[in-house]
Chain A
Amino acid sequence: MDISPILDGFGVVLEPTNLLYCLIGVIIGMLIGVLPGLGPGATIAILLPITYGIGPVSAIIMLAGIFYGAQYGGTITSVLLRLPGEASSVVTVFDGFALAKQGKAGTALGIAAIGSFIGGTVSIIGLTLVAPVVAGFALDFGPPEYAALGILGVLLISSIGNGNKLKAIIAACVGLLIATVGRDTFTGAERFTFGSLNLAEGIDFIPIAMGLFGLSEILYNLEERHNQVHAPAKVGNVWPSRKDLGQASGAIGRGSLIGFVLGVLPGGGAVLSSLAAYALEKRRAKQPERFGKGAVEGVAAPETANNAAATSSFIPLLTLGIPANATMALMFGALLIQGIQPGPQLVTEHPDVFWGVINSMYIGNILLLIMSIPMVGVFVRILRVRPAIMAPITVLITLLGAYTVRNQVYDIFLVIAFGVLGYLMKKFGFEPGPLVLAFVLGSMIESSARQGLLIFGGDPTGFVTRPISGTIFALILAVAAWPLIRKALPRKTSVERVEEKIK
């Protein structure tokens, strides 16, 4: 393996501008991680237009910093106030808050910060080793393989994600439909444009992302009545004792691995891995009854896993050009804005972006570790800001940003329309994630499938007879049929679950 591009990547990251953007990214990430309601997805969506003005490397470094920084920040409120700042920190609440009640809030935060750092770093090392290999392998992929991968991605995202599967599939289909709006790239025929010139250009990714993730989340949060106000929390000593560290070390190791593996899977990501890591620790523990009453492992495992997953979910994006979760779809969009097509060519064509982003995570993690331990009190202060002040400012920034991309008022209306759509989707239990992912993958699936058909001279069996695309299509069948197979199998898992409950 040639390591000179990796070292060059460090050179890119250590440029003062990039260091600054990395710092800005992780600070914003920490802040929005602390704030309940506004997640990393929404923030990245809102900030997408800003990335126009800065170079591709700096832009992606900053957005990545927001993403993994939020995993650190989400812990703080989980532990101190029993208020998970992010979905991926929900399980941390059980033991984190119990520890805080025993006056060991500092220990919990310190363990979480150290676990996050180790999980993140292990995952980056994995990313450094695995990504070029996968990308090299994927260089053999042609259009048929990409079509197959895209379909598999949409299918996995709608079936693995949390929540109602049928609703996720419906959302994904709507996303695919929206992807077809506009002028056909092959024939020039207009589709679903209703004679409108604006629609003929197709619907851009940015208004969709800003509306569905940004505006809809703000609207949805405004509705909350805020009937719970907390007293300001006191944070004492943040350095965990040697004994606590020893107790947590196993959990940190296992959490890193779980997070790394689950982060790569489409639809997996930080939330799923934190749940899985917590469940594993509870099952392995000699005294499972300690969990929920302040077990250090119960904080270490999920916090390590969610950071590892946040990092490893970059692998499919940077190597195959397939976003693994909704936030990665936004990264995908950000790269496209910069004129960079994520995919296997990224390593060879834009080594500065590829290695710059990966290596910035080492730096970002160190920055976060430095910031999170002594500066917890500073970040908690943002919780005193009322949403009634925050929300209008965020909406204004969102709409202004939407306008500045192309200087068209039409884009503002698109953002509002998708904001309302996203709000209604959330009200009725639909996740906007699958829609956006399907939209991103939709145009890729369509163009690769049609290119494939051109290559095969119109014979669709070509998709199945090529070895790689054939294998992927077999996988697609397996994933699609999996719920039926599981129904047919004896239901051992649910019995086990009941037994666990009785215990």
Chain B
Amino acid sequence: MTILVGYLPTPEGEAAVDAGLREGALRGERVIIVNSPRRGAPVDEHMIDDAAGAELLRRARAAGVDAELRQPLHDDDLPETFEALVKETGATLVVIGLRHRSLVGKFIMGSEAQRILMESTVPVLTVKAAQ
């Protein structure tokens, strides 16, 4: 059994990894950290390089968790990529970070986190960035 953790190099992403690793240690389950860049442009600012990836895995080892980093590409639909990963890995829990959104932001933009919450077939644990 595995836990999927959504990760971006932001405070919310760090919080999600922390929570995911704690949960993995508690349940004794494997953790898959997902850092999914968007297909299209040659560079995605949210994609992490090999060194940062190794650092994440080192953190997981320090927490005593068996972890793996995956960087699948997504098109316009990140929630679908997550759902496919859940099916593929048989994950029992998804951990994602949430950020505060302004009223105008909520009015104009959609939210991938919200869609994962609504559409996921397994329980979702959401965390906020450390204050």
Contact = CB atoms under 8 A, between A and B. Distances in A.
B1 interface: no
Contacts of B108: none
Contact of B39 (A36, A226, A230, A232): A226
Interface stretch (B15-23, B40-48, B82-90): B40-48
A495 interface: no
Contacts of A83: 42
A230 B37 CA distance: 8
Nearest to B40: A386
A499 B43 CA distance: 40
B45 A232 contact: yes
A229 B48 contact: no
A385 interface: yes
A354 B39 CA distance: 46
A185 interface: no
A234 to B, nearest CB: 8
B47 A231 contact: yes
Interface in B18-69: 37-45, 47-49, 52
Interface string A10-41: 00000000000000000000000000100000
Given A227-B73, A231-B49, A81 B43 contact: yes
Contacts of A227: 39, 73
Interface string A344-388: 000000000000000000000000000000000000100111111
Interface residues on A, range: 20 to 34
A229 B49 contact: no
A228 B49 CA distance: 13
B37 A229 contact: yes
Interface in B54-106: 73
Nearest to A380: B43
A77 interface: yes
Contacts of B39: 225-227, 229
Contacts of B41: 226, 229, 383-387
Interface residues on B, range: 10 to 19
A231 B35 CA distance: 11
Nearest to A101: B50
Given A227-B73, A229-B37, A229-B73, A77 B48 contact: no
A231 B48 contact: yes
A402 B40 CA distance: 28
Contact of A81 (B37, B38, B40, B42): B42
Given A227-B39, A229-B39, A231-B49, A384 B73 contact: no
Nearest to B76: A388
A270 B42 CA distance: 24
Contacts, number: 55
A225 B39 CA distance: 8
Contacts of A385: 41
Nearest to B43: A383
A239 to B, nearest CB: 23
Given A227-B73, A229-B37, A77 B42 contact: yes
A182 B41 CA distance: 43
Contacts of B48: 231
Contacts of B44: 229-232, 384
A386 B74 CA distance: 13
A384 B37 contact: no
Given A227-B73, A229-B73, A387 B47 contact: no
A232 B44 CA distance: 7
Interface in A195-245: 225-233
Contacts of B38: 229, 386
Contacts of B42: 36, 77, 81, 83, 226, 228-230, 383
A77 B43 CA distance: 10
A77 B42 CA distance: 10
Contacts of A380: 43
A226 B40 contact: yes
Contact of B43 (A225, A232, A387, A388): A232
B35 to A, nearest CB: 9
A105 to B, nearest CB: 12
B97 to A, nearest CB: 19
Interface of A: 36, 77, 81, 83, 225-233, 380, 383-388
Top 7 closest A-B pairs, CB basis?
A386-B40, A231-B49, A383-B43, A229-B37, A231-B47, A386-B41, A383-B42
17 contacts: A81-B43, A226-B39, A229-B40, A229-B43, A230-B42, A230-B47, A231-B43, A231-B44, A231-B47, A232-B47, A233-B43, A233-B49, A384-B43, A384-B45, A385-B41, A386-B38, A386-B41
Given A229-B73, A233-B49, A388-B40, 20 more contacts: A36-B42, A81-B42, A81-B43, A226-B40, A226-B42, A228-B42, A229-B38, A229-B40, A229-B47, A230-B42, A230-B44, A231-B43, A231-B47, A232-B45, A380-B43, A384-B41, A384-B44, A385-B41, A386-B41, A387-B41
